């Protein structure tokens, strides 16, 4: 039987506010254990939470960006469970009355499909702390709690079960990261845990309307883990079903080193969280004026940017998606095009997606640290366009600009890299090449036209790569009589 995979993701994004969601402690990552704590996030007797306004504003940004309905009045609720990383014995979250409902995330797949995934809700909540188990410290009888992270603001972004394969789940997750980074509300770093994800996955017979029993998967700390875990689970569930077995609702943990998911707890032991509205916090009101202010400050979003790149610069969809995946990269590209002119946008796109990204990868730096300014890259592209240098020489110039931090024109002049366009100079080089390779000339004329590359190579070598390739090929063809 053919099965359809159904996946829904619950994504947690840590907001990069200065202070925590309900107190003034620093929300920054790291620090000595319990350094970023105060009476409130330690849950001491008598303390009360006060909502951080920045958290609401950040939530409104993403709510508006995905086109969610923003509740004029929403509430916080307490979610109860006992664990040493949860100081109050409850997490302040939102339950029946979240701030955002609905909304939609769009992305393009590598094979060019447009996918839209509806969101169920987005809500605000506080993060828990961390436990450090003593066996990591040579003290196996104790566990220690570090509450630096307790109270750091989180968004929970819940998708509808509309994803149909692990690859789309990864693309969706990447798109969410792109969004939160564009909006400046989260670092979106999966390794540091500022972006986390739980997945619900089930299988159902192709064509069936009814969902199959779902399994929740946790502990996926990278995009790769997410995809691999879902692929594994998809396969596992298919095998269970095909062999006549049943899937039980349960939570499974992804074990990256073993490449498998393992059962953690089954539904029988599910917590009763006893949610109820937090009486320490008043209902939160968001009025139209506030929403308008936040809307007015939203940056150009990736989807709009991608459309603009396609419409104004004539870029292919794929280029536009790659260039807009990171706000800073898109900004860099925009500056290159601004300096070089929209007519060179495709060329600019090739350079940015190719050599610039390669350079960033090699040097492990971000686009903001790129040693080649957008203006210099634009200049380099213009030098190719007006025939001053060849595309091939341009690669050398690119590396030298990166290395020396000088202007491409200076490098071209100083190193004499200007392209030879003088046909008589090229002709004499071609003559030399043909004279010294009589056998190849004969073979070529006998029909081995692939040897054209050999002659181009020889002539280029003789000119130090500076010969205008188009002129060179024309002259070669002429002289070889083809």
Partner 1 sequence: MNELLYLNVMEIRENLRAKEFTAEELTKAYLERIDETETRVHAYLSVLRDEAISAARAADDRIRTGDQDFPLLGIPVAVKDLLCMKDTKTTCASRFLENFEAPYDATAVGRLKDAGAVILGKLNMDEFAMGSSCEQSAFGPTHNPWNLKTIPGGSSGGSAAAVAARSCVVSLGSDTGGSIRQPAACCGVVGMKPTYGRISRYGLIAFASSLDQIGPFANNIQDAAILLGAVSGHDPRDSTSADEPVPDYTDDLEAGVDSMKIGIPKEYFIEGMDPEVETAVREAIAVFEEQGAEIHEISLPHTEYALPVYYILAPAEASSNLARYDGVRFGVRKKGDSTFGSLFGMYAASRENGFGDEVKRRIMLGTYALSSGYYDAFYTKAQKVRTLICQDFKAAFENIDVVLSATAPTPAFEIGERLDDPISMYLSDILTIPCNLAGLPGISQPCGFTSGGLPIGLQLVGKPFAEKTILQAAAAFERATKHHEALPPL
Residues forming contacts to partner 1 in the complex (CB under 8 A) are: 39, 42-51, 78, 80, 82, 84, 87-90, 145, 272, 274-276, 279-282
Three-point CA angle 325, 165, 233, nearest 5°: 120
Rounded to whole angstroms, how far apart are CA atoms 323 and 130? 37
- Name the minimum Å distance from CB 274 to partner 1: 4
Instruction: Name which of 142 and 461 has its Cβ closer to partner 1.
Output: 142
Instruction: Name which of 89 and 341 has its Cβ closer to partner 1.
Output: 89
Instruction: Name which of 82 and 453 has its Cβ closer to partner 1.
Output: 82
Rounded to whole angstroms, how far apart are CA atoms 473 and 455? 9
Instruction: Say if CB 154 and CB 22 are below 8 A apart.
Output: no
- Name the minimum Å distance from CB 135 to partner 1: 14
Instruction: Name which of 41 and 334 has its Cβ closer to partner 1.
Output: 41
Strands 195-205 and 3-14: antiparallel
Instruction: Name which of 42 and 115 has its Cβ closer to partner 1.
Output: 42
Q: Nearest CA to 407 among 368, 380, 369? A: 380
Instruction: Name which of 270 and 342 has its Cβ closer to partner 1.
Output: 270
H or E element: which one contains 79?
Answer: strand 77-80
Q: Which residues are within 8 A (CB) of 15 and not within 5 positions of it... i.e. 6 or more apart?
A: 21, 27, 54, 55, 58, 59, 152, 153, 154, 155, 185, 186
- Read off the tokens for 223: 């995009």
Instruction: Name which of 34 and 463 has its Cβ closer to partner 1.
Output: 34
- Name the minimum Å distance from CB 22 to partner 1: 9
- Name the minimum Å distance from CB 287 to partner 1: 17
- Name the minimum Å distance from CB 280 to partner 1: 5
- Name the minimum Å distance from CB 140 to partner 1: 12
Rounded to whole angstroms, how far apart are CA atoms 127 and 25? 13
- Name the minimum Å distance from CB 362 to partner 1: 48
- Name the minimum Å distance from CB 216 to partner 1: 18
- Name the minimum Å distance from CB 249 to partner 1: 16
Instruction: Name which of 280 and 414 has its Cβ closer to partner 1.
Output: 280
Instruction: Name which of 46 and 481 has its Cβ closer to partner 1.
Output: 46
SS3 303: helix
Rounded to whole angstroms, how far apart are CA atoms 201 and 241? 14
Rounded to whole angstroms, how far apart are CA atoms 378 and 344? 9
- Name the minimum Å distance from CB 44 to partner 1: 7
Q: At what angle do helices 223-242 and 166-182 cross, to 10 degrees?
A: 150
Instruction: Name which of 43 and 102 has its Cβ closer to partner 1.
Output: 43
Across 130-214, where does the E strand assignment appear? 130-133, 143-146, 153-159, 195-205
SS3 477: helix
H or E element: which one contains 401?
Answer: helix 391-404
Three-point CA angle 233, 236, 241, nearest 5°: 125
**Residue 244, number of CB atoms within 10 A of its CB:** 6
């Amino acid at each position: 039987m053919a099965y359809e995979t159904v996946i829904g993701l619950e994504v947690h994004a840590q907001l990069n506010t200065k202070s925590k969601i309900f107190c003034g402690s620093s929300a920054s990552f790291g620090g000595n254990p319990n350094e970023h704590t105060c009476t409130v996030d330690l849950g001491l007797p008598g303390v009360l939470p006060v909502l951080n306004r920045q958290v609401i504003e950040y939530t409104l940004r993403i709510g508006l960006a995905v086109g969610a309905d923003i509740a004029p009045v929403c509430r916080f609720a307490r979610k109860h469970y006992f664990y040493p990383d949860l100081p109050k014995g409850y997490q302040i979250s939102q339950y029946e009355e979240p701030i955002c409902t609905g909304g939609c995330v769009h992305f393009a797949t590598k094979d060019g499909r447009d996918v839209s995934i509806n969101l169920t809700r987005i809500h605000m909540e506080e993060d828990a702390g961390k436990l450090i188990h003593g066996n990591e410290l040579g003290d196996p009888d104790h566990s220690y709690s570090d509450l630096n992270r307790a109270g750091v603001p989180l968004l929970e972004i819940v998708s509808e079960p509309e994803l149909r394969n692990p690859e789309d789940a990864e693309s969706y997750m990447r798109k969410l990261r792109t969004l939160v980074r564009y909006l400046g509300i989260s670092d979106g770093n999966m390794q540091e845990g500022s972006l986390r994800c739980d997945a619900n996955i089930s299988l159902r017979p192709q064509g069936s309307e009814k969902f199959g029993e779902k399994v929740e998967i946790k502990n996926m700390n990278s995009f790769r883990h997410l995809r691999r875990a879902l692929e594994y689970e998809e396969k596992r569930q298919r095998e269970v079903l095909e062999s006549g077995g049943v899937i039980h609702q349960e939570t499974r943990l992804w074990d990256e080193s073993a490449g498998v998911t393992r059962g953690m707890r089954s539904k029988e032991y599910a917590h009763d969280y006893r949610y109820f509205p937090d009486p320490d916090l008043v209902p939160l009101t968001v009025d139209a004026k506030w929403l308008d202010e936040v809307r007015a400050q939203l940056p150009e979003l990736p989807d709009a940017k991608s459309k603009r790149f396609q419409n104004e610069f004539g870029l292919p969809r794929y280029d536009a998606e790659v260039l807009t995946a990171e706000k800073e990269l898109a900004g860099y590209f925009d500056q290159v095009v601004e300096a070089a002119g929209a007519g060179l946008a495709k060329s600019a796109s090739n350079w940015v997606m190719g050599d610039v990204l390669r350079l960033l990868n090699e040097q492990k730096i971000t686009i903001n640290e790129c040693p080649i300014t957008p203006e210099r890259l634009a200049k380099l592209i213009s030098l190719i366009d007006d025939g001053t240098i060849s595309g091939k020489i341009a690669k050398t110039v690119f590396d030298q600009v990166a290395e020396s931090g000088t202007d491409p024109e200076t490098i071209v002049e100083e190193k004499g890299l200007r392209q030879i366009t003088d046909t008589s100079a090229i002709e004499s080089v071609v003559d030399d090449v043909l004279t010294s390779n009589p056998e190849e000339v004969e073979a070529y004329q006998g029909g081995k036209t692939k040897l054209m590359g050999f002659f181009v190579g020889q002539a280029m070598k003789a000119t130090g790569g500076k010969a205008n390739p188009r002129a060179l090929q024309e002259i070669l063809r002429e002289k070889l009589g083809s």
